[in-house]
Amino acid sequence: MKIEKFEDIKAWQEARVLVNIIYDAVESNKGFTGDYKFREQNHSAAVSIMSNIAEGFSRRSTKEFTQFLFIAKGSVAEVQSQLYVALDQGYINKEKFDELYSKSDEVARLISGFIRYPLNKGKPQALKQPNKLSEHEELNKPKKLKEPK
């Protein structure tokens, strides 16, 4: 599938699903209602995932796009950490925790996959750099060792 707009990105689509189930979980529990700051932090972290994917896509360099994908992945970790707080405070039960954590983990995996292949079909020509490794790939490239004499 050709990616022409951020809505075509599978990670963004699944992040949108995650936002909706986070909102449902937060709004359906009275414990969250009294904990205004924590409720808003949950909303913000979840929305940040899809927002950073969209914003990164609009950038015109692979480096910037990848940076925004890493920020989105960081927001997934924030959501996951907050899920533990919600569980510990009794705002959600273990079953809801597992559902939300599983969906957030799926989103994190999709983002990681997209980070590895940011030059897939559909990106603007300005982002395509044939025969050049991305910064992430370059950092993880095995180093050649000098052979002993």
Q: What is the pLDDT of residue 43?
A: 93
How does pLDDT run across 120-147, given as a tens digit for each residue? 544 444 444 433 444 444 444 444 444 4
The per-residue pLDDT for 109 is 96
**How many beta carbons lie within 10 A of that of residue 131, not counting itself?**
4
- Comparison of pLDDT for 119 and 44, the residue scoring more: 44
pLDDT tens sequence across 39-60: 899 999 999 999 999 999 998 7
Domains and CATH numbers, the chain: 6-124+131-140 (1.20.1440.60)
Using one digit for the tens of pLDDT, what is the confidence trace for 5-33?
A: 999 999 999 999 999 999 999 888 887 87
- 130 class by beta-carbon count within 10 Å (0-12 exposed, 13-18 middle, 19+ buried): exposed
d(CA 103, CA 54): 19
